[in-house]
Structure 1
Amino acid sequence: MSGDKKPSIIKNYIIGGAAGMIATSVVQPIDFVKVQLQIKGEGVKGARPNPFTILKQTISEFGVRRLYTGLDSALLRQATYTTTRMGTYKSLMDWGAEMNKGVVPAWQKGAYSLFAGGFAALIGNPADLALIRMQSDHTLPEAQRRHYTGVVNALSRIIKEEGFFSMWRGSTPTIYRAMAINFGMLGPYDQAKEMLTKNFGEFNGIRIASSFIAAFFACVFSLPFDNVKTKFQRMAKKPDGTYPYKSFMDCFMRSLRNEGFLGYYVGFSTYVVRIAPHAIITLLSVDFLNSIFNKPKK
């Protein structure tokens, strides 16, 4: 028994990371548009930029390749963040199922989701910071642009120019966002599958239906933190040497004051379009890979 547990835990992390990288490769253009929406809505009350206009302008001015800006950073983020969150959550669920004789209570699923999300965000923040900066660099004044050539260049320059621990700039909103998105995504996905199966039995599409339910709650809970995270991580020093925001809470409160409560939800439709496919592809990939690797040996 003890010899089987260690490989099983390692497998959870490998499957989680692979599923996240598959999903990110598909939705990267949507994520790029989502970041541009949040940038254009910063500091403007009632701002409702059109995602299709941004998509059209981006392709017209820079070509389709611009939509994949930061893909290497995004894949590195999945290799760190999603590997950690999915692997940790699945391992905790396996442990919880063993402790509770097969049935994990909803509150434990929520607790596991929160812990896995927060822990993974710490691991993945450097790649996430590089991704945000690469996607938003062209929106800065020419004198403030960083012109990173790739994720390795971005991370090495961040360390050299701003210090090693600056790679965790924006980690507070990143952790809150990750905890919120995982609280809405992982636990509710498993809970939705259980409830749908209990009420309707097994049916084709139960995993897809559960994924949509989980994606919706994940978006509602996490978008305010994602919005603040984008602003906090992309900021550059002003001419006087200070940053626009002093802290996560300062950014959160100033966003509320300048843009109103609904300003937190700028780009909500695009965020849903980005999160739902990512959630569906990730969760279905995890289930599919688990079904392959966990087949009983004859």
Structure 2
Amino acid sequence: MSSPSSSQSGAPSAWSVVQPFVLGGASGMVATAVIQPVDMVKVRIQLAGEGVAAAASRPSPFSIASSIVRAHGVASLYTGLSAGLLRQATYTTARMGLFNTFMERIQRDGTKASMLQRAMAGLAAGGLGAFVGNPCDLALIRMQADGLLPAAQRSNYSSVVDAITRIARDEGVLSLWKGCGPTIVRAMALNLGMLSTYSEAKSRLEPVLGKNSTTTAFGASAIAGFFASAFSLPFDFLKTRLQKQKPDPTTGRMLYSGTVDCAIKVFKKEGPRAFYK
């Protein structure tokens, strides 16, 4: 007699274990391929006016995008795409997979997870995923910021592998985790913002738009996304500034010694609104 299948015995199949990781990573990679130009513009905006007084004029997203296209062509909006895809293959794969794994462990005895348990699972998964994906995130920022440097100082990375290899060789392996602190906090804030507002927004919209309707789900997701961005954007800004910096060619010193130093210098020089670039 043949042995019972994994489904009959109650043991999870290999696919059921890896499915959340695979689908999470794949969905993140598709999203990155679509929004890469927007991310490119966002990073350039965050780096624009570094160290310049708050009163100075700020470029708009449209002026940034048009200047990139004029200087380097439409394809340049996709600079760093390989790093963005690999980041999703690591960060989103880990985040989505770990969240589902944590939830299965919490609910394995048949009890429903509480809001606090879901929040803690989301925060832990987001933080761990961000740590795993930080080298790719760093490579993405370096590739997108490279065009801002004088031609003689550009690294001209050919791919994410080239960027990671050269950064590790020139600055040390641990440098691949530059900006890891705000990256982790950003991921946790993003997840917390989504978790803390989606259910509330959905319950407020259901009497108006209908229970379990597509419109309600879309509206609640949009509201949750707005608050998630509001919570996480300051940390995303600090992450970008820290990951972009390189040692000064003359002194060998960094502009920012860490997250707190970066936040203080930006606040003093560029004002509080800079954190929401």
Q: State the number of aligned residues.
A: 265
- Secondary structure at the residue paired with 1:137? helix
What does residue range 101-250 of structure 1 map to in structure 2 within 5 Å?
101-102=111-112, 104-186=113-195, 188-189=197-198, 192-193=201-202, 200-238=210-248, 239-250=250-261
Question: What corresponds to 1:43 in structure 2?
Answer: 51
- Secondary structure at the residue paired with 1:205? helix
Structure 2: which amino acid aligns with 1:36? R
Q: Greater shift after overlay, 155-164 or 76-85?
A: 155-164
In the TM superposition, what whole-angstrom CA distance separates every residue of 1:30-66 from its partner, at most 9, and x where no partner exists? 0000001011132231453200111111112211100
Question: What corresponds to 1:19 in structure 2?
Answer: 27
Following TM superposition, by how much is the alpha carbon of 1:192 offset from its aligned partner in structure 2, in angstroms? 4.8
Greater relative CO, 1 or 2 (CA 8 Å, sep 6+): 1
Unmatched tracts of structure 1, length 5 or more: 267-298
Unmatched tracts of structure 2, length 5 or more: 1-8
Question: What corresponds to 1:252 in structure 2?
Answer: 263
Cα distance, 1:244–1:175 mapped onto 2, change above 3 Å? same
In the TM superposition, what whole-angstrom CA distance separates every residue of 1:223-281 from its partner, at most 9, and x where no partner exists? 11111111100112212111111111111111111111111012xxxxxxxxxxxxxxx
Question: What corresponds to 2:69 in structure 1?
Answer: 59
Q: TM-score normalized by structure 1?
A: 0.82
Following TM superposition, by how much is the alpha carbon of 1:196 offset from its aligned partner in structure 2, in angstroms? 5.2
Structure 2: which amino acid aligns with 1:217? F
Residue 113 of structure 1 contacts residue 187 of structure 1 at CA under 8 Å; is this kept in 2? no
In the TM superposition, what whole-angstrom CA distance separates every residue of 1:85-119 from its partner, at most 9, and x where no partner exists? 111122323443445733x3222222122111110
Give the greater-gyration-radius structure (CA). 2
C-alpha separation in 2, matches of 1:190 and 1:7: 30
Residue 144 of structure 1 contacts residue 236 of structure 1 at CA under 8 Å; is this kept in 2? no
Question: What corresponds to 1:87 in structure 2?
Answer: 97
- Secondary structure at the residue paired with 1:91? helix
C-alpha separation in 1, matches of 2:199 and 2:218: 12
Question: What corresponds to 2:6 in structure 1?
Answer: none
Percent sequence identity is 44
In the TM superposition, what whole-angstrom CA distance separates every residue of 1:130-167 from its partner, at most 9, and x where no partner exists? 00000000112334321111111111111211111111
- Secondary structure at the residue paired with 2:12? helix
Cα distance, 1:83–1:192 mapped onto 2, change above 3 Å? farther
